[in-house]
Amino acid sequence: MPSPPAPVALWSRASAALWLGTVAAYAAMYVTQPFLPVLSAEFGVAPAAAGLTVSALVLAIAGGSLVAGPLSDAAGRKAVMVGAIALLVLPTLGCALAGSFPQLLALRAAQGLLIPGVTAVSVAWAGEHYAPGNLRAAVGGVIAASVAGGLLGRLVGGLAAQHWGWRSAFLVSAGVTALGAAGMALELPGGAGGRRAWRGALAGMVRHLGDRRLAGGFLLAFWMFFGFVAVFTYLPYRLAGAPWHLSTDAIAAVYSVYLAGVVVSPAAGRLASRLPAERLMAGGLAVAAAGVAVTLAPSLVAVAAGLVVLVVGTFTAQALGPSWVNLAARDAKGGAGALYLASYYAGGTLGSFLPGLAWSRWGWPGVAAVSGGAFAAGLAAVVVLCRPVSPRAAPTRDRA
């Protein structure tokens, strides 16, 4: 039986490679958000249709996650992560050459199928390479990298689209992705995963659906990302319209509120060593809902403040959700992470489309109402389903 890999230090070249690959994956994911109005104008599509450049990708991520997680259980974490991010360069370059809106959507979906090779596997990789006492802090670092990637994709995407056209945004994203692939290939230690048959890996993932606590974690992921994506997908339409009429690069700058998530994610991971993770996740969702309410104010400063509160609340919960699921799952941890990510991006798929219908009918109040309702549903899932199992009911169960 192979010996377990030596623990990776929190501050090491391997950690830096993991973070860089995560940044690249998330930057590719959100690159179109700041220039959705530009795509609407160029291809002659409605806002809800332009939002499909996000929802088609996240729907593909949801499906791809169901394959990437158990595949990493069977074939090995590093092999899946490096292969997926290297291949991601190709459809990202293809997006820059798309000649029609359907072609762009197809290429965005191809990106979405590959991104889970990093996003759905990284937490399971962390669980096998960091010492147990460092896991939540390590996952907090991964979540911070995901926030930084989302910020980078939006900022660079918006600035590139403003000055050199929207196609240039994909060229920059492809370059960042290639760097992430090189870093992971050179610096990530292997030796974890690859010890389960494919059929056993799938069966282990399916068994997680019957676990009450894990089901609560999956619902948390679904509703949290639904509410978050609803706001940030349709925010450009509000900011580009009356009374502010912001330019594309100014809208991209508003996404700098994501910096709050870079700070709060590792802090939440450290705080979880002193407070129950379930309580922190529930509190984060409540804070996020409050931030959405603040964005209803007719003041650009108030909107920005509400977005900061939304980011702090969301990434407090998200910094803990993946590691909570990893610890709550007794086996097939890659499958558990895959179901969490599939739920997360299934919520993002609906969150990037359905609120567009609310926008068309009721404007920003409609988007805010849909988003706030999603956070309330996630909060209910945590309170009702994620509560700890009593020792008498499950004496051998690991506490998350």
- Distances 104 to 50, 95, 154, 232 between C-alpha atoms, Å: 10, 6, 18, 20
pTM over 0.85: no
CATH of domain 13-385: 1.20.1250.20
Pinpoint the alpha helices (H) of 255-329.
259-271, 277-294, 300-328
Q: Where are the domains of the chain?
A: 13-385
CA 242 to chain centre: 31
What pLDDT does 392 receive? 55
What pLDDT does 394 receive? 47
Long-range contacts of 212-215 (CB under 8 A, 24+ apart): 212/385, 212/389, 213/328, 213/385, 213/386, 213/387, 213/388, 213/389, 213/400, 214/325, 214/328, 214/329, 214/336, 214/339, 215/385
Cα–Cα distance measured from residue 38 to residue 169, given in angstroms and rounded to the nearest whole number:
13
Cα–Cα distance measured from residue 171 to residue 180, given in angstroms and rounded to the nearest whole number:
15
Give counts: helices (H), strands (E), the chain. 19, 0
Cα–Cα distance measured from residue 168 to residue 96, given in angstroms and rounded to the nearest whole number:
7
What pLDDT does 233 receive? 85
Cα–Cα distance measured from residue 219 to residue 343, given in angstroms and rounded to the nearest whole number:
7
Cis peptide before 91 (omega within 30 of 0): no
- Distances 192 to 82, 116, 182 between C-alpha atoms, Å: 14, 18, 19
Residue 159 in contact with residue 31, Cβ under 8 Å?
no
- Distances 392 to 84, 325, 387 between C-alpha atoms, Å: 43, 21, 14
Average pLDDT by consecutive 10-residue portion of the chain (400 residues)? Answer: 64 90 91 86 85 83 82 82 96 94 95 91 82 77 84 85 90 94 90 56 68 89 94 89 86 82 80 84 96 94 95 91 81 77 84 87 94 96 84 47
Residue with tokens 């950690």: 15
Cα–Cα distance measured from residue 286 to residue 140, given in angstroms and rounded to the nearest whole number:
20
Cα–Cα distance measured from residue 230 to residue 342, given in angstroms and rounded to the nearest whole number:
17
